[in-house]
Each structure stands twice: as structure tokens, then as C-alpha cells.
Amino acid sequence: MVSSEKNLALKKSDIKSFINYFENDKDKKNIFFESLNEQLTDSNESYQNDSFFKIVSKKRQFLIFPKYQVEVQPRYITISTDADKIILRDAEKKLINYDTRSKKYGPIFPGKHVFKMELVSDIPMIEITKKDVIVWDKDKNLDAYLTKELPKEKSFTEDVAKTLDLFSTDYASFIGGGFVDADSPVLKEMASELIGVRSIFKTIDYQYNGIKVNNDSIKLFTKGSKWHMAVELFLDTETSFESVALEGFKMEIEKSSVYKYELIYDKKINKWEVVNRNEGFGKSDEWKNVTDIHHKQPKIYNWNSDETIDKTNLL
């Protein structure tokens, strides 16, 4: 068996992929060999030219017996993606050539393949695997969208949860500290708006216990040149405040509830930043795919007049 293109030298893995195509499907195998047999008995050249594999006569063996080879026309891969660049490799992680003019990868020997893809963009690169890809009688197009693949990646969803946990800790410190000492840009902006009303508060207590992120809610999209992400989480808190007017009477600041966050990827610092938060919907106990971060030692912040006390390390 040989390739019709001289620049494609067949490897053992190519033959294996070719054989795997017929695995557990006798009909495909029978049709293939019937076609080869018809080519041997049919002298019509147009018939052979229409097929992507054909019988090629070679020199006679021992000058008597006719010798034939199966010549196979290779195929090419195109990829639909929202990434800036795709690096495509075979099952053995060998790089597959990319032609910038045709925007195709290949040549690829027909068969059932495993491809590994590296999706390169402004956000951290990820690698995905496409299994049981059938490349047979025509070129193959594959989808590799960051918006679809990233939410499936455990390493990505864990990083998202860590980012949201850090923000939630910063938020707890900000609210429980009397609207000061915020690291997040969005909280610094809020501080300028809230510091003016701090005089109506006598005390503020904020305990942050953890979050549960709904990984199935993660949505990635672009606005202009920036990557955005929307995600829902359950925020577990215990909060209260006293007003100057009603000293001794404590009221809840916010409830443990589902919230929807929006983040933007900052290319300068290579990380996601929370830019907005709104009330969410649904019940977190019905979520099936979650990342749960629970703090055995809750983050506790108390503000009284103009003094902030972090009791986290006192438990």
C-alpha cells in the first residue's frame, strides 16, 4: 500500500489507522475489497480515476506473476476555530504540516484517527484530543472552539474557581472592612461610591465560607478584542450590620445565594478579572458539574466605626 503523493511516506500508525476504520464493521471491509477486485477485472480507466484508492500494476514477480500495489489518495484536514492558531498532531504527537495558502493540514492517510490539538490564543493555551475521527473518501473539517472546549477542561474550571474564590475573599474583606482595602479594580471603583455612606453604619460583620461554581454555566465570548466569561456560582456567607440609627438591631447585608459573574481576560497580567456581579437564578443543589471550594476556617471580617479586624487566624 502506497500514497499517491510522494511527500507522504506511510508509517505503521497510518496502516493501523487504515485498518481501524474497518474494525467491527465487516460491511465496510467487504465493500472495500469488492471494489479492489472490480478494479482488477475492469479495464475502464475512468472507473479507477473516480476512486480515491486504486490498483497500480508493478513489475512482475519472477518475471511471471503480476504484482500490484494499492495506491491511496491522501486527504486533508481543515479546522473551524475561534483560536488564533491551531497546532495539530497525530496520536504519536508528531506535528502535522499546515499549508498557509490552502489553510489545510496534511496530507493525512485515510482511516480512523486520533488527533491532538493545541489551541493558541490570548488566553492560556489548552490541548484537546479528538478521538475516532473518520477521514476517508473526502477531506475532513473539525471543530475546535475555545468557547466550547475550555468549559470542559478540568484545569480551566479549577482555575476559574480559584479566581472567583480570590475575588470573593477580597469582596468579604472589602465589605467587612468598611468598604476599604480592596485589591480588585471593580471593588476600588465601588469604594469611591460607598465610602460616602459608611457613616450610617455602626458595625459590619462578614463571614465568607466558600463558593460552589456551576461549571456548566460557563460561557465564553468576545467583545471587540477582549475575551469575556459569564459564570454562575453559589456564594456561602453569613453577614449582618448595625446602623447608627438602630444600634443593637442587626440586619442581613446579603444572603447566601446564586450570583452571576462576568469576567474579562486581562492580557497585560495574563489573568481573569471580575468586572460585574448580578443576582442569579436556580438552585445550586441541582447543579451536576461543580467545583466546590469550602474554607474550613471561614474568612471573618468585622468593622466597628473605622477599625477593621481580620479574625481569620484567631479561629
Question: pLDDT tier at 58 (50, 70, 90 boundaries)?
Answer: low
Nearest-5° Cα angle at 154, 148 to 156: 70
Cell matching residue 18 = 487504515
Question: pLDDT tier at 60 (50, 70, 90 boundaries)?
Answer: low
Contacts (Cβ under 8 Å, ≥6 apart) of 308: 176, 177, 178, 180, 181, 301, 302
The answer, yes or no, to whether residue 43 has pLDDT greater than 60, is no
Q: What is the mean pLDDT of residues 224-239?
A: 95
pLDDT at 246: 84
For the chain, give the number of residues: 315
Domains in the chain, please, with CATH?
Answer: 2-72 (no CATH), 75-144 (2.60.40), 153-314 (3.10.450)
Q: What distance in Å separates the CA atoms of residue 255 and residue 239, rounded to the nearest whole number?
A: 7
Helix (H, G, I), strand (E, B) or coil at 201: strand
Q: What is the mean pLDDT of residues 253-281?
A: 93
- Tell me the DSSP string of 67-117: EEEEEE--EEEEEEESSSEEEEE-TT-PBPPEETTTTEEEEE-SEEEEEEE
pLDDT, tens digit, 9 for 90 and up, residues 71-119: 888 899 999 999 999 999 999 999 999 999 999 999 998 999 999 999 9
pLDDT at 311: 47
pLDDT, tens digit, 9 for 90 and up, residues 125-150: 889 999 999 999 899 999 999 999 99
Q: What distance in Å separates the CA atoms of residue 138 and residue 74, rounded to the nearest whole number?
A: 9
Question: pLDDT tier at 256 (50, 70, 90 boundaries)?
Answer: very high
pLDDT at 14: 85
Which of 65-74, 221-230, 231-240 has the least mean pLDDT?
65-74
pLDDT, tens digit, 9 for 90 and up, residues 159-186: 999 999 999 999 999 999 998 877 788 8
Pick from 84, 66, 79: nearest CA to 116: 79
pLDDT, tens digit, 9 for 90 and up, residues 8-31: 777 888 888 988 988 877 788 888
Q: What distance in Å separates the CA atoms of residue 53 and residue 36, rounded to the nearest whole number?
A: 8
Residue pair 223/268 in contact by the 8 Å Cβ criterion? no
Q: Is the pTM of this model over 0.75?
A: yes
Does the CA dihedral 184-270-155-224 come out positive or negative?
positive
Contacts (Cβ under 8 Å, ≥6 apart) of 204: 175, 176, 178, 240, 241, 253, 301, 302, 303
